[in-house]
Structure 1
Amino acid sequence: MTTTTRDSVDVAGTRRTFTTVASTADSASRALVLVFHGSRQSGDKHRAFTSQAYDRFAAAGTAVVAYLDGYQGAWNDARRESRFAARRDGMDDVGFARAVITKLAADHRIDSRRVFAIGYSNGGQLVMRLVHEAPELLAGAAVIGATMPAPENFLATEAPPAPLPMLFIHGTKDPIVSYGGGTMGWWKRRFFKVGGRSWSAPRTARHFAERNGSTAGPVITREPARPGAVTEVERSDYREDGAPPVVLYTIHRGGHTVPGSAGNPRVLGRTSREVEAAGLIGTFFGLLVGSGADSSPVGPQ
C-alpha cells in the first residue's frame, strides 16, 4: 500500500508545494524520485497525465516519489529566452529541489546517494539545469520531450562536472519540441513564452555522454515492432568502461508524449505503446529490476 500526502517547503520566502507518494511498509532505505511536470501543468496534473505510472516505484517499496509543482505552471529553466513567470520572478527551482530532498530525507528513510530526477518538456529543461548546476544532488536523471538549449541560449551556471547516468526519450514527430532541434515556430514561442535555438535529441544525448567521459559513438538497436504498431523504438546506447551510461530512446512517429501513458491529447501527437517510460526509467535506475524493461540497471556513480 502507498500513501499520498501534500506538503510544502519555504524557498527564499515563497511557499512551494509538492505531492509525495510513499509505501506504508517499513524500509531501511529507499531512493527518492523527483518528478518535474511540463508547461501549464502541476505535479498532480502530471501524475494524472502519466497515468500515475511513477507511483509504481513507491508501490514496489524501492523509492519515495515526489511530484513537484512549478511556479504558475512552469519552471525557471536555463533557456535564455524563457519569458514565463518563473523566469520573470526569478524562482529558485534548484533551491526548491534541494529543499524537497532535505525535507523528505528527514521525513522518510531516504538514501541520499540515490536521488533521481525525471522531467518532461519544460520539466526536462529544469532537470538538465540541475545536472549542470547541482549534480551533487543526483544519482541520475531522465528527460522526456526536451533537448539541450544551444550554447548561446543556455544560462546555467556550470558546477564542477559530476558524471551521471542519463536516459532520454523523444518522439521524431514531436510537434512542440522538435526531435531535430532548431528554433520553435512563432506560435509556439508565443504560446509557451520560450525561444532560442536548441540541439537535436541525438546531439543532446551525445553532449551528456561526452560530459561523462564517453568518447565512442552510440550502439544503435531497433526494437522489434509488433504488427500494426503506430510507433517504432530505436535505442542509442553510449556505454564505455569508467563512464556512466547515456541512453536515448527514439520513438519513431511518436509525439510530445510520455510512452505508455493513456489519454494524451491528440494535439501532442502519437503515444507509443511499444515501451513504457516508467518501466524503462525504473529499470535503468534499479527501481524496478525484473520489471521486463530492456535496460540494464545502474547504481549510484
Structure 2
Amino acid sequence: MLGFAILLWLMSLVGWWYLSSDSVEKPELAGSLQPGQLVHDKLPRRWLAWVPATLSAPAPVVIVLHGSLGSAEQMMEATHYGFNVLAERDGFIAVYPNGIDRHWNDCRASADYAANKYNVDDVGFLAAMLDMLAADHTIDRNRVYVTGLSNGGHMAYRLALEAPELIAGIAPIAASLPVTENLGCESTGVAMPTLIINGTADSVNPYEGGLVTVLGNASRGAVRSSVDTARYWASLAGHGDDGELHDWLQREADAVTSVTSTHWRAPGRAPVVLVTVENGGHTIPHPTHRQPRLLGTTSNEFDAIELIWSFFASGGMEIPGAAGRPTAGN
C-alpha cells in the first residue's frame, strides 16, 4: 500500500513537472478589458478587447489567436499580458477572440476538431468582429494585424490567404503552412508582411515539415517546413529564394537555445522574416517566463511579443535582435 502511494506521488510529481508553467501576474494598467459578442452564421461568438486609457487616432488593432484547446483568457496569460502592456504604451487595441469548441477552422483540411469538421466561418466572424470594434472605437482599418500560437497561427495564415484585404500583416508562432495535399484554403495570391517564429525542437509542428501530432492525434496532417513556408510568402512578394541570414547575439553564454533569422526585404515589397529558435519547442519565447515543459523548451533569448509588435509597427523593417548581424544567405 505504501509503495502504491509513493508511485502515485511520483506520478503526480512528474505530471506537475511537465505541465506546470511560471505564474504570470496581471500588470496594473490604466486601460480596460472589454468583452464583446455577436451571432455569426447562427453561432454565438465572443472576444475580449484590451482598450488602453489613451488610444491612437485612429488606433491599430492586433488580433491575438489562441492555440488548440485554448481561450481568450488563456492566450492573454500565455503572452504574459505583453500585448496589453504594449497597447497601453503605444495606443493600439489588443483583441483576443474565442474559437468554436476552443479551436479555429484553419487551412489543415484533414483536422478532426469541430471548427474544421463543420466548416465554421471564422474568417467571416473575425471580419464581423472588426466591424463591431470599428463601431465602438476609431480604429485604423489599414493597420489590423494578426498573430497566433499553433492553431491560432494557422488561422492567421488562413486570413492572409483568403482575406488579405482585412489585415496588414501576420505573425504566426509554432505554425507552418499545410502541404498542398492538406491545404483546405484558396489563396488569393496576395503578398503579406509575414513574421514566422518556429522552434527546431517543436514536437508538435515539426520545423523540417511533416506530420503534426497533438497528444497522439495526427488528424491535422502534414505541414511544409518552416523555410518552405517562409519562402512561399517571399515568393508572393516577388523575393528570390535566398533571404539574408542573421545570427543573433546570445543573452546568456550557457543558454539552451540560440536564435537566427532569415529576412526577405526589398523596397516596395512585403517583408518576410523567419525567426528560427534552435532547440526551441512549441512555445512563445520570453526573457523570464517558461511555458509547460511538455511543450518543449521556452527560449529566454528574446521577447516574442515585443518582437511581433516591432515588426507590425515598423512595417516589417525592425527586428531588434537581428540588427547588424548579417551572415551568409540562406
Query: Structure 2 length as normaliser, TM-score?
Result: 0.84
**Equivalent residue for 2:211?**
183
Matched residues in 2 for 1:132 and 1:246: separation? Answer: 15
SS of the residue corresponding to residue 233 of structure 2 reads: helix
SS of the residue corresponding to residue 106 of structure 1 reads: helix
Question: What is the aligned counterpart of 1:218 among 243, 249, 254?
Answer: 243
Q: Offset at 1:287?
A: 7.0
Q: Is the 8 A contact 2:211 2:222 kept in 1?
A: yes
Q: What letter is aligned with 2:239? A: S
Matched residues in 1 for 2:194 and 2:203: separation? Answer: 24
**Equivalent residue for 1:299?**
none
Q: Offset at 1:87?
A: 1.4
Asked if residue 241 in structure 1 is aligned to residue 267 in structure 2, the reply is: yes
**Equivalent residue for 2:176?**
147
**Equivalent residue for 2:48?**
19
Q: State which drifts further: 66-75 or 20-29.
A: 20-29
Q: Is the 8 A contact 1:264 1:271 kept in 2?
A: yes
Question: What is the aligned counterpart of 1:80 among 89, 109, 112?
Answer: 109
Question: What is the aligned counterpart of 2:303 among 276, 295, 300?
Answer: 276
Q: Is the 8 A contact 1:149 1:198 kept in 2?
A: yes
Taking structure 1 as reference, are residues 272 and 186 closer, same or farther at Cα in structure 2, changes over 3 Å only? closer
Matched residues in 2 for 1:239 and 1:156: separation? Answer: 26
Q: How many residues align?
A: 291
Asked if residue 30 in structure 1 is aligned to residue 59 in structure 2, the reply is: yes
Q: State which drifts further: 16-25 or 56-65.
A: 56-65
SS of the residue corresponding to residue 243 of structure 1 reads: coil
**Displaced runs of 4 or more, over 6 A:** none
**Equivalent residue for 2:202?**
174
Give the RMSD, CA atoms, in angstroms: 2.0
Taking structure 1 as reference, are residues 246 and 31 closer, same or farther at Cα in structure 2, changes over 3 Å only? same
Question: What is the aligned counterpart of 2:254 among 221, 228, 232?
Answer: 228
Matched residues in 2 for 1:186 and 1:41: separation? Answer: 13
Deviations 1:206-265 (A, max 9, x none): 111101111251110110112111110001001123211100110001100001172411
SS of the residue corresponding to residue 178 of structure 1 reads: coil
**Equivalent residue for 2:5?**
none
Identity of aligned residues (%): 34
What pairs up with 1:37-76 in 2 under 5 angstroms? Answer: 37-76=66-105
Q: Is the 8 A contact 1:147 1:201 kept in 2?
A: yes
Taking structure 1 as reference, are residues 200 and 91 closer, same or farther at Cα in structure 2, changes over 3 Å only? same
**Equivalent residue for 1:6?**
35
Q: Offset at 1:187?
A: 5.2
SS of the residue corresponding to residue 162 of structure 1 reads: coil
Asked if residue 164 in structure 1 is aligned to residue 189 in structure 2, the reply is: no
Taking structure 1 as reference, are residues 8 and 127 closer, same or farther at Cα in structure 2, changes over 3 Å only? same
**Equivalent residue for 1:121?**
150
Question: What is the aligned counterpart of 2:223 among 182, 187, 198?
Answer: 198
Gaps of 5+ in 2: 1-29, 324-330
Matched residues in 2 for 1:234 and 1:274: separation? Answer: 11
Deviations 1:84-111 (A, max 9, x none): 0111222110011101111111111101
Gaps of 5+ in 1: 297-301
Query: Structure 1 length as normaliser, TM-score?
Result: 0.91
Q: Is the 8 A contact 1:279 1:293 kept in 2?
A: no
Q: Is the 8 A contact 1:259 1:276 kept in 2?
A: yes
Q: Is the 8 A contact 2:76 2:96 kept in 1?
A: yes
Matched residues in 2 for 1:181 and 1:147: separation? Answer: 8
